[in-house]
A and B are shown apart, each in its own frame.
Chain A
Amino acid sequence: MEKVKKKIGSFSFWNWVTASIIFRLILIYFPKNLNLSSRPEVSTPLTSFRRLAEGYWLKQSFMSPYAGSMYHGSPLLLSLLGPLTINRIEGQPNHLLYSLVSVIADVVSAMLIRATGQNLRLAYLRSLESLDLVKQIEVSGDIAALIYLCNPFTIVACVGLSTSPIENMAVILCLYGACSRLIPLAAFGWVIATHLSLYPAILIIPVIFLLGCGPDSPPRKLFLQRHQQKEVLNQSKLPPRFSWGPVIHFAFWAFLWSVYVLVLCGISLKQFGGLWEMFKSTYGFILTVEDLSPNIGVLWYFFAEVFEFFRNFFLIVFHVNILFMILPLAIRLRHRPCYLAFVYVAICSMLKSYPSVGDSALYLGLLGWFVNELADMQFSLFLFCGYVGVSLLSPVMHNLWIWRGTGNANFYFATAMVYACLQIVLVVEGVSAMLNHDRKLRNLITGKPQDAKS
């Protein structure tokens, strides 16, 4: 859907938004034909709406919603979305109400992405101005929002009754709050996103950078060099230094919100084992990879094969994998916190235990923020074709394995591996394109010929 990018000038933004909403509404009216909600690509044990309905039913009949290892989400979602699972409108498709909620969530996310993109663009323009580089740049906010809205992955996740639109909205809320320096909002988004799917917890690092030194800009070193050249050190034109004030403010709000959320959870689970039960069957379930039903990730296959007594070891290895990448990336990309957030989200969606296409939808949307910087990215056609190919091949392989019986688990796992490789290529190429962009800016300032590196 990156196609949309260039056409923004001639096509109005709102036309595309309306078109994508209408398209979703049309799809919602054929739930039986598409049967998306039972696809492993869309609904994982964590995001499945059917499981949520089951949990709600259990809770209504005064049992623990986590009984029977069916539901693994937050108790807050049960209270908020649970009633939607049983409310039906006569003559309309089941779960119409929830579908509408997820459409709204998508639109809200898109609007937040747009606002954040505009913020980022302003910041980028300002920093270019202070470097005396005049450029025309694309309206990245609109493009990112449209990529998010028109991405088939987002549409499928939205129509397929999964909770990922809501999780994505929480993540985007957090980034939006941090970019526009609405600290309570950022803290709220972060706490909710972490509460819903655990992995966004690592977004605290980009958020701290965002609050500490403001949105993405070229490295600070460049500004110093530029001003040394001109031999006038104008402090006002320099990006601000890291300030601890907003960060402490954020920490305070984050603490407040998490206590609030935990108290609410505690109240709702009072009779059913309390918070410990919740931690065990949500975070514990995520971290120990209990459910080995196939999905588009690579962990289910691995843990189905691994010997029982090595299991704990490999669990640690796989999760530490994510943690290992945090620090080097944070150091290298600290001047571009939003880009850092994108990279973190992409890595998480690659290595998380129950990935779905909704996670890809999120990072592909965020990618749109950086059209100007990533204009030089390599392998764009290859990646695009790869994504198209894998997203078509994966259901076919699943069908071959499950329904026709002529294939086996390896067929499906092969597509999962290709998918993981594509994501790796995307992240690697994206990061190197961003670093090249910084290098190019530096060369422009110092006046070197620009073709020195690649």
Chain B
Amino acid sequence: MAETKEKSLSDEKPKPRVRPIVRLGIFLISHSFLVSVVCCTAGVLALFLLPVLAKNTYISENALMPGSASPMLSNQHVSDGNRLVKDLTNPNSKSSETGIESHKIIAQYMLDLGAEVSFHKFHPQMNQFHPLHFFSSPVSGKIQENYSCSSYGINTVGIIRAPRGDGKEAIVLVTPYNALKSGFGEALSLGIAYSVFSLLTQVTWLAKDIIWLVADSQYGEYAAVAAWLREYQSPKFSSLSTPNAEMCPDVNNLFELKGHSISGSKFSNSFRRAGTMAAALVLKVRDQNEQFEDTISIYAEASNGQMPNLDLINVVNYLAVHRQGLRVNVEKLWPLLNSSWLKSLGEIFESLAKVAKSLYPKWKFGIPATEYVEGTATLASSLYYQALGVPTGPHGAFRDYQVDAITLEISPKFSLDKVWRNDILLRGGRLIEGVIRSVNNLLEKFHQSFFLYLLTSPSKFVSVGVYMIAFALLIAPLPMVAASLYVDANSSSNYSKGDSSTPSAITDTDEHGIAIRSWRWLNSAKLVFIVHLWGAIVSLLPYFISQIPDCSPTTSFMIWVLLSILSLLTSNSVLASPLACAKATQEKEWALVKSVTISSVFIGLGLMSVINFATAEIGALLMVPMCLLARPLKLDVRAGTLRSFCRLICNLVLGHIAFPPAAFFLLKGMLDGFGNANVGDFWMWVESLWAWNSATYLFIGMVQLPCWVLCVSILFHTC
């Protein structure tokens, strides 16, 4: 397209017929400014329209049949659960300093029900920096460290074998429990799980094994679950040299249990397994609550913005709302709820919908303004947590093994009487029972419903087909502007050449000119490549900085910044200069640099939208305007018109905002207030990102930062 246009311009002869698609391309390229303004506005608008476009969830998998059977959980089971809660909260059981007593109690209770019980001992594994983790399987390359016997955790695992199953599938129920300082909520969650567990040992319909994992959360809930999963999915046949938890002396105390237990035959020292996991539920009960009704919060985001299958959330939502009368919550971004501009935007959409409806009664797309605000707040938090790429609970560990999992957090209205406790045990238990019964019906693994979606409320979602439109509109101008800049830069160099008369002379200048013209972008591509290489180096630096002992976040951040600047200068002087001077600075050089930069940003954003949509969307909101507007300040100053002045201001503002730390502090300030912003915060945030192997970290280091550097270099280009 590019060259064709230029040729058609330089022709004196009647134009050759151009194919329609080429003509369309030429049209778009020549109106790239208008097109990009329209597309970007439409993209942002479409993003704000998403809560309006959200659809109601529905259960896609027919086999699930939630709520078709009446719950079987009776008061008998509830009183069983109550007994366990009492025993656990009994001060006697807490006397032991390692909390082994409570584990023994739980194990004894499980054994009494006839379940298979085993303990799983693990060392909390520190999160390590695996830059390539995303591309490899979750199990590969875990390095064993030296462990000490002083820190280990114990997971208690109970397994019920399904009477109707073949033992090839299992459903996991997880209750995090910290034996050392457990609150009443944790005991209550164990009580709920126990009452369900005691029911499930008796039922005949069970077709999948049930695994109840009491995860020792003294080193964090996620670590415990992840350690158990790692052992479950990839057994380690470790050599004897690595110190093992089994060797520690006081772990062996656990096995005294065997001596004074009745049904000791079901207890085993070794790691017990059931089939592949169909789904996992993490159950928590919150200790204090300021709300006036029983609510249940669903957390679903796993690492890198992966979500469980929507059907799992649907089942929980359906059963909680329509059977147990619980209110279902998903996370919201609270500051947005009170923002007046969002409210007025919602009102505008509402009135527009009213107008549309009055014009044609079948157009029904409006939602009330309050609902819109709530939907936007939920959507924003959905985007935020997906973009972070850090799992929001222990369920994240399951997603790494392709198991759909969610965390349910029950927050009861708080009172201490026994009736209330029984009530919450009964309703929570019935909810869990219903979900397990539903999942039990599943024939294959979850596959019917969506994996890629954003929630705008527990019962509304935006699917990938809708939100991708907003993103596509936002980044659509990038290739167009890149092409138009490329064409401009090439044609200007074409015009500047003089004509010669003799054939040989023509050949000479022409040949040289062509060689420059067609491959001139290589010079800019080299610059862009070097800056991206520098981005990779910058992303690797924190790994080395974190090795420095006793370094406060602020100092680390300063070291990082210094090293980054140093490496930028070095790479610039070593790699760039000998090549840059080979080709004298040409006019419109900046246009080519901008064109290649935009192309690379387009590739980066497209790539990220596949890996983690939310990151790409937020990144696009920051980077696309900056890339499109970037233009040497000198030119704008020289022009001196109102338009160029506006562009100058925009460029300066965007140049500040799009710098990753600046964007971070701005966002943080908007959410928490600017009062307690600290330079070290950014370091902590980055550290948490790479500790969780978030792809967002790589995105910031290798797409956004280089893009910012290139744009700034365009702004200060001397032309």
- A: residues with CB less than 8 A from B are 2-3, 5-7, 9-11, 32-35, 132-136, 138, 375-381, 384-385, 388-389, 392-393, 395-397, 399-400, 403-406, 411, 444, 447, 450-452, 454
Closest chain A residue, CB of each to CB of B483 = A382
Judging by beta carbons under 8 Å apart, are A451 and B7 in contact? yes
**Residue among B7, B512, B599 making CB contact with A381, cutoff 8 Å:** B599
**Residue among B486, B506, B518 making CB contact with A444, cutoff 8 Å:** B506
Judging by beta carbons under 8 Å apart, are A393 and B606 in contact? yes
Judging by beta carbons under 8 Å apart, are B16 and A454 in contact? yes
In angstroms, Cα B11 to Cα A444, docked, is 18
Within 8 A of A (CB), among B1-51: 2-4, 7, 10-11, 13, 16
Judging by beta carbons under 8 Å apart, are A378 and B2 in contact? yes
CB-defined contacts of A403 to chain B, threshold 8 Å:
137-138, 402
CB-defined contacts of B515 to chain A, threshold 8 Å:
138, 375
Judging by beta carbons under 8 Å apart, are B519 and A5 in contact? yes
Known: A6-B519, A379-B2. 15 other contacts (CB 8 A): A3-B526, A10-B579, A10-B582, A33-B141, A135-B511, A136-B508, A375-B514, A376-B514, A378-B4, A384-B525, A393-B610, A403-B138, A450-B510, A451-B10, A454-B4
* Interface check B507, CB cutoff 8 A: yes
Interface centre among A376, A384, A405 (most CB of B within 10 A): A405
Between-chain CB contacts (< 8 Å), 12 pairs: A3-B526, A6-B582, A35-B140, A378-B2, A381-B486, A388-B603, A403-B137, A406-B306, A450-B510, A451-B7, A451-B10, A454-B4
CB-defined contacts of A7 to chain B, threshold 8 Å:
526, 579, 582
Q: Digit string of B544-586 for contact with A (CB within 8 Å is 1, else 0)? A: 0000000000000000000000000000000000110011000
Judging by beta carbons under 8 Å apart, are A385 and B599 in contact? yes
Judging by beta carbons under 8 Å apart, are A11 and B519 in contact? no
In angstroms, Cα B427 to Cα A40, docked, is 50
In angstroms, Cα B511 to Cα A317, docked, is 43
> Contacts A381-B595, A385-B603; is A10 near B518 (CB within 8 Å)?
no
In angstroms, Cα B610 to Cα A382, docked, is 21
Q: Digit string of B601-637 for contact with A (CB within 8 Å is 1, else 0)? A: 0110011001100000000000000000000000000
* Interface check B335, CB cutoff 8 A: no
Of B74-82, B128-136, B434-442, the one contacting chain A is B128-136
CB-defined contacts of B583 to chain A, threshold 8 Å:
6
Q: Which 8 A-B pairs have the closest CB atoms?
A: A406-B451, A405-B402, A389-B603, A375-B515, A378-B3, A385-B599, A454-B7, A381-B521
**Residue among A3, A32, A135, A452 making CB contact with B508, cutoff 8 Å:** A135
* Interface check B105, CB cutoff 8 A: no
Distance of B415 from chain A, by nearest CB (Å): 43
Count the B residues whose beta carbon is within 8 Å of the partner chain — how many? 53
In angstroms, Cα B16 to Cα A408, docked, is 44
CB-defined contacts of A396 to chain B, threshold 8 Å:
135, 607, 610-611
Judging by beta carbons under 8 Å apart, are A134 and B504 in contact? yes
Distance of A87 from chain B, by nearest CB (Å): 24
In angstroms, Cα B136 to Cα A35, docked, is 8
CB-defined contacts of B525 to chain A, threshold 8 Å:
3, 381, 384
* Interface check B715, CB cutoff 8 A: no
CB-defined contacts of A134 to chain B, threshold 8 Å:
504, 507-508
CB-defined contacts of A400 to chain B, threshold 8 Å:
610-611
In angstroms, Cα B487 to Cα A381, docked, is 11
In angstroms, Cα B136 to Cα A32, docked, is 10
Closest chain B residue, CB of each to CB of A445 = B503
In angstroms, Cα B526 to Cα A7, docked, is 10
Closest chain B residue, CB of each to CB of A447 = B503
In angstroms, Cα B510 to Cα A444, docked, is 11
CB-defined contacts of A395 to chain B, threshold 8 Å:
135
Judging by beta carbons under 8 Å apart, are A135 and B507 in contact? yes
CB-defined contacts of B607 to chain A, threshold 8 Å:
389, 392-393, 396
In angstroms, Cα B514 to Cα A375, docked, is 6
* Interface check B255, CB cutoff 8 A: no
In angstroms, Cα B607 to Cα A35, docked, is 21
In angstroms, Cα B602 to Cα A10, docked, is 32
* Interface check B274, CB cutoff 8 A: no
**Residue among A6, A10, A379, A404 making CB contact with B522, cutoff 8 Å:** A6
CB-defined contacts of A3 to chain B, threshold 8 Å:
522, 525-526, 529
Closest chain A residue, CB of each to CB of B137 = A403
Closest chain B residue, CB of each to CB of A35 = B136
In angstroms, Cα B159 to Cα A125, docked, is 81
* Interface check B125, CB cutoff 8 A: no
* Interface check B377, CB cutoff 8 A: no
Distance of A22 from chain B, by nearest CB (Å): 16
CB-defined contacts of A138 to chain B, threshold 8 Å:
515
* Interface check B537, CB cutoff 8 A: no
* Interface check B422, CB cutoff 8 A: no
CB-defined contacts of B503 to chain A, threshold 8 Å:
133, 444, 447
CB-defined contacts of B606 to chain A, threshold 8 Å:
389, 393
In angstroms, Cα B2 to Cα A35, docked, is 40
CB-defined contacts of A377 to chain B, threshold 8 Å:
518
In angstroms, Cα B596 to Cα A396, docked, is 23
* Interface check B523, CB cutoff 8 A: yes
In angstroms, Cα B137 to Cα A35, docked, is 10
Closest chain B residue, CB of each to CB of A392 = B607
In angstroms, Cα B11 to Cα A182, docked, is 48
Closest chain A residue, CB of each to CB of B515 = A375
> Contacts A6-B582, A7-B579, A404-B306; is A452 near B521 (CB within 8 Å)?
no
Distance of A301 from chain B, by nearest CB (Å): 19
* Interface check B650, CB cutoff 8 A: no
Distance of B374 from chain A, by nearest CB (Å): 27
CB-defined contacts of B356 to chain A, threshold 8 Å:
none
Closest chain A residue, CB of each to CB of B603 = A389
Q: Digit string of B495-519 for contact with A (CB within 8 Å is 1, else 0)? A: 0000000011011101110110011
* Interface check B369, CB cutoff 8 A: no
In angstroms, Cα B529 to Cα A377, docked, is 22
CB-defined contacts of A9 to chain B, threshold 8 Å:
582
Closest chain B residue, CB of each to CB of A6 = B522
CB-defined contacts of A381 to chain B, threshold 8 Å:
486, 521, 525, 595-596, 599
* Interface check B452, CB cutoff 8 A: yes
CB-defined contacts of A10 to chain B, threshold 8 Å:
578-579, 582
Judging by beta carbons under 8 Å apart, are B582 and A2 in contact? no
In angstroms, Cα B136 to Cα A399, docked, is 8
In angstroms, Cα B241 to Cα A66, docked, is 40
Closest chain B residue, CB of each to CB of A404 = B306
CB-defined contacts of A35 to chain B, threshold 8 Å:
136, 140
Distance of A200 from chain B, by nearest CB (Å): 30
**Residue among A135, A375, A388, A397 making CB contact with B518, cutoff 8 Å:** A375
Judging by beta carbons under 8 Å apart, are B132 and A33 in contact? yes
Closest chain B residue, CB of each to CB of A429 = B3
Distance of B337 from chain A, by nearest CB (Å): 31
Judging by beta carbons under 8 Å apart, are A11 and B578 in contact? yes
Closest chain A residue, CB of each to CB of B140 = A35
CB-defined contacts of B514 to chain A, threshold 8 Å:
375-376
In angstroms, Cα B132 to Cα A392, docked, is 13
In angstroms, Cα B596 to Cα A393, docked, is 18
CB-defined contacts of B512 to chain A, threshold 8 Å:
136
In angstroms, Cα B508 to Cα A399, docked, is 51
In angstroms, Cα B606 to Cα A32, docked, is 28
CB-defined contacts of B579 to chain A, threshold 8 Å:
7, 10-11
CB-defined contacts of B518 to chain A, threshold 8 Å:
375-378, 380
Distance of A269 from chain B, by nearest CB (Å): 37
Closest chain A residue, CB of each to CB of B451 = A406
Interface centre among B486, B512, B515 (most CB of A within 10 A): B515
CB-defined contacts of A384 to chain B, threshold 8 Å:
525
CB-defined contacts of B134 to chain A, threshold 8 Å:
399
> Contacts A444-B507, A450-B510; is A375 near B140 (CB within 8 Å)?
no
In angstroms, Cα B135 to Cα A34, docked, is 9
CB-defined contacts of B2 to chain A, threshold 8 Å:
378-379
In angstroms, Cα B527 to Cα A7, docked, is 13
Distance of B406 from chain A, by nearest CB (Å): 16
Distance of A132 from chain B, by nearest CB (Å): 8
Distance of B398 from chain A, by nearest CB (Å): 12
